[in-house]
Chains A and B, each alone.
Chain A
Amino acid sequence: MPDPAIGSPASAGEAPATATPPLLQLDGIVKRFGGVLALDGVSLSVSRGSVMGLVGDNGAGKSTLIKVVSGAHQPDGGTLRFDGAPVRIASPRFAKEIGIETVYQDLALVDTLDAAGNIFLGREIVRFGAGPVRVLNKRRMQRSARELLGRLGLELPSSGTEVGMLSGGQRQSVAISRALYTRPKLVILDEPTSALAVTEARKVLELPRMLAAQGVSVIIISHTLQDVLDVTDRIVVLRKGRKVADLATHETSLEDLVTYIVGSERAKGAGYA
């Protein structure tokens, strides 16, 4: 049974007192799809160099919230502040420009290109040329890709191997490297381990902490609650479009999370708690 004094939304909603404002602050975000209220006044903040978990049942509003932050959806109400200033994130491209990168579940990789080709897709290093003829500097892209993956502690699938031939974990590594290339301030990982084998998932889960240590903030969405408990500093629970809990991870147990996700009465009935 969760102790209501620990994780209640009221007590945990206040941001810790720090000198700098949080990197991302959402205030009363509302999003409607026709008659459906997908987000019902969600407020949360992500501080610099921290890892936040976002959990909730299917349809709780996690994906919608992420799409608002990454510029894919426009909110119908509420305000966003990023890096201390109010912003309107009008497009995914704008989100990237201000330093928000999202790694989507389906990864959006080109299977017939190799790792470097995917990491540099759309921002290839060019040796010379102009207009329609720009000659690629393949060697430099290979080297940079290798350096980048090395810095992240990821294995570079050998150059030239198409990413379509790689394992789920290696593909995930490529997608994450691609997002990190621009040195973003906030990285959103949408279900990063859902398609991975256990050993691969372990590797990918080391990333959020490593990024946080470098001052990058991370939001991670996952259905695997134990993973979220292992790698986050805070956990926000959504249910039916509302934030029902905002918890410090070290004070939270798996049972607490399940209770918040499904609602306490149902949790008892289902024998979770």
Chain B
Amino acid sequence: MREATAAVRELPSRDWRAIALDYGIYVILLAFVVVMALLSPNFLQTRNLLNIVVQASTVAVIAVGATMVILLAEIDLSVGSVAALAGAVTAGILELGADAVAPGPIWVTLAVLAGLAIGTALGAVNGILTVWGGIPSFIVTLGMLSVARGLTLLYTGGRPIFGLGDAFARIAYGNLGPVPVPIVILVVLYTLAALFLHTTQLGRYIYAAGTNRRAVALAGVNVNQLKVGVYALAGTLAGLGGVLLTSRLDSAQPTAATGWELDVIAAVVLGGTSLYGGRGAVVKTLVGAILLQLISNGLNLLNVQAYWQQITKGGVILAALMLERALRRTRGGRDM
């Protein structure tokens, strides 16, 4: 460790900009917490803090997959629609079971697995069209955004699906000891994702292929297969986000998660993952998602009109991107 530090010190490029890129998000998060605590005396109560994380959990779950896609220098705009479809399919299956008796754990498990499977399948289609269809992922997933929303409306007939039962509601409202289940899911998911990205061979290939696709392919790695796999996983996680949302609302809304692609990408970008690929840390995506939720809660607290909230959210993403670009570009003349 010591020699690494010494060498780093020799490089003039390891300056305040790099430090700002690495730790800026934590400083901003802390600043937000302090401001909120001053504005609202109830803010620092454990229950309120847990609530904020629970509210952030749906976007945060989806953002795990989005982080991997963006690390590969790709994008997935379809996650909101895919989440909605997965939630609707899960709710539809629960409804089938609910006619006789309230759906039990096995029925719930099957319904959730079906939702995840739908997400995985649509994610894989995204990947296949991007890789072998040769269509830019931005267009492919924009198409999927529309297709999946249409399928959701078709499946639900445009009406919400209600009455999903207590067993299913426990996913969003249950507790494991003192900890809400969504937070348990977040901790497990982010731990696994961080271990996968930072300690495994495939995780390394995701970073490397996002930086220099050709070099990785020349080294004999099947980059196309890797990309399809990552898209499929992003689809699975979008499905999981949809299931969580459906459980929290205790209903599948055909227009659920509309526009969530923006929230998800915002969480990833606020977390410092580069939209140009190859750089980022998934754990910081969680911080980004929580920060977004804090911003939204703070604006509510200040009684800011919903329209302004939308403007603020978009502005925050653009500001984060511009800041990141400016910090990276000035580092020794070479893009980081």
A and B: interacting chains:
yes
How many contacts A-B (CB < 8 Å)? 78
- Assembly CA distance A77 to B94 (angstroms): 68
In this complex, the interface size class of chain A, counting residues with CB under 8 Å from chain B, is: 20 to 34
Min distance, Cβ B199 to any Cβ of chain A, angstroms: 5
- Assembly CA distance A109 to B214 (angstroms): 9
- Assembly CA distance A110 to B204 (angstroms): 11
**Chain A contacts for B6, CB-based, 8 A:** 158
Min distance, Cβ B10 to any Cβ of chain A, angstroms: 9
A195: interface (CB < 8 Å): no
Question: Is the pair B196, A133 in contact by a Cβ cutoff of 8 Å?
Answer: yes
**Chain B contacts for A110, CB-based, 8 A:** 208, 211-212, 215-216, 278
B47: interface (CB < 8 Å): no
B101: interface (CB < 8 Å): no
A78: interface (CB < 8 Å): no
Question: Is the pair B336, A164 in contact by a Cβ cutoff of 8 Å?
Answer: yes
One of A44-52, A59-67, A122-130, A251-259 at the interface? A122-130
* B1-25 vs A, Cβ < 8 Å mask (1 yes, 0 no): 0011011100101000000000000
Min distance, Cβ B100 to any Cβ of chain A, angstroms: 40
Question: Is the pair B202, A134 in contact by a Cβ cutoff of 8 Å?
Answer: yes
In this complex, what residue of A is CB-closest to B7? Answer: A158
Question: Is the pair A134, B219 in contact by a Cβ cutoff of 8 Å?
Answer: no
* B187-228 vs A, Cβ < 8 Å mask (1 yes, 0 no): 000000000100111101001100110111011110000000
**Chain B contacts for A19, CB-based, 8 A:** none
Contact of A161 among B7, B207, B336 (CB under 8 A): B7
Question: Is the pair B201, A126 in contact by a Cβ cutoff of 8 Å?
Answer: yes
A121: interface (CB < 8 Å): yes
A1: interface (CB < 8 Å): no
Question: Is the pair A121, B219 in contact by a Cβ cutoff of 8 Å?
Answer: yes
Question: Is the pair A129, B218 in contact by a Cβ cutoff of 8 Å?
Answer: no
Contact of B208 among A92, A113, A161 (CB under 8 A): A113
Number of B residues, CB within 8 Å of A: 30
Question: Is the pair A136, B218 in contact by a Cβ cutoff of 8 Å?
Answer: no
Min distance, Cβ B277 to any Cβ of chain A, angstroms: 9
A117: interface (CB < 8 Å): yes
Min distance, Cβ B228 to any Cβ of chain A, angstroms: 13
B298: interface (CB < 8 Å): no
In this complex, what residue of B is CB-closest to A157? Answer: B7
A213: interface (CB < 8 Å): no
Min distance, Cβ B110 to any Cβ of chain A, angstroms: 25
- Assembly CA distance A164 to B202 (angstroms): 21
- Assembly CA distance A165 to B11 (angstroms): 8
Min distance, Cβ A52 to any Cβ of chain B, angstroms: 24
Question: Is the pair B279, A112 in contact by a Cβ cutoff of 8 Å?
Answer: yes
**Chain A contacts for B218, CB-based, 8 A:** 92, 108
Question: Is the pair B220, A93 in contact by a Cβ cutoff of 8 Å?
Answer: yes
**Chain A contacts for B216, CB-based, 8 A:** 110, 121-122
**Chain A contacts for B220, CB-based, 8 A:** 93, 122-123
- Assembly CA distance A121 to B215 (angstroms): 9
Question: Is the pair A122, B219 in contact by a Cβ cutoff of 8 Å?
Answer: yes
In this complex, what residue of A is CB-closest to B2? Answer: A158
**Chain A contacts for B332, CB-based, 8 A:** 165
Question: Is the pair A164, B334 in contact by a Cβ cutoff of 8 Å?
Answer: yes
- Assembly CA distance A121 to B216 (angstroms): 7
**Chain A contacts for B163, CB-based, 8 A:** none
Question: Is the pair B11, A112 in contact by a Cβ cutoff of 8 Å?
Answer: no
**Chain B contacts for A122, CB-based, 8 A:** 216, 219-221
- Assembly CA distance A117 to B334 (angstroms): 20
Min distance, Cβ A205 to any Cβ of chain B, angstroms: 25
Question: Is the pair A132, B199 in contact by a Cβ cutoff of 8 Å?
Answer: no
Q: Which of B223-251 contact A (CB under 8 A)?
A: 229
**Chain A contacts for B278, CB-based, 8 A:** 110-112
Contact of A124 among B201, B214, B215, B334 (CB under 8 A): B201
Question: Is the pair A108, B212 in contact by a Cβ cutoff of 8 Å?
Answer: yes
- Assembly CA distance A113 to B198 (angstroms): 12
Contact of A108 among B196, B214, B221 (CB under 8 A): B214
A159: interface (CB < 8 Å): yes
- Assembly CA distance A122 to B219 (angstroms): 5
Question: Is the pair B196, A165 in contact by a Cβ cutoff of 8 Å?
Answer: no
* B173-191 vs A, Cβ < 8 Å mask (1 yes, 0 no): 0000000000000000000
Question: Is the pair B215, A109 in contact by a Cβ cutoff of 8 Å?
Answer: yes
Q: Most chain-A CB neighbours within 10 Å: which of B196, B218, B219?
A: B219
- Assembly CA distance A124 to B200 (angstroms): 10
Contact of B200 among A117, A134, A164 (CB under 8 A): A134
**Chain A contacts for B215, CB-based, 8 A:** 108-110, 121
Min distance, Cβ B200 to any Cβ of chain A, angstroms: 6
**Chain B contacts for A158, CB-based, 8 A:** 3-4, 6-8
Question: Is the pair A161, B11 in contact by a Cβ cutoff of 8 Å?
Answer: yes
In this complex, what residue of B is CB-closest to A161? Answer: B7
Question: Is the pair A113, B201 in contact by a Cβ cutoff of 8 Å?
Answer: no
Min distance, Cβ B323 to any Cβ of chain A, angstroms: 20
Min distance, Cβ A20 to any Cβ of chain B, angstroms: 31
Known: A112-B279, A122-B220, A136-B199. A161 touches B8 (CB 8 A): yes
- Assembly CA distance A157 to B8 (angstroms): 10
Apart from A93-B220, A112-B279, what 8 extra A-B contacts exist at CB < 8 Å? A112-B207, A112-B211, A112-B278, A121-B219, A122-B219, A157-B7, A161-B8, A165-B332
Query: Can you list 18 A-B contacts with CB-CB less than 8 angstroms, sorted by A residue number?
Result: A109-B215, A110-B215, A112-B207, A112-B208, A112-B211, A112-B279, A113-B207, A113-B208, A121-B221, A122-B220, A126-B201, A133-B202, A135-B200, A136-B200, A136-B204, A158-B4, A158-B7, A159-B4
Interface residue ranges, A against B (CB under 8 Å)? 92-93, 108-113, 117, 121-124, 126, 129, 132-136, 157-161, 164-165
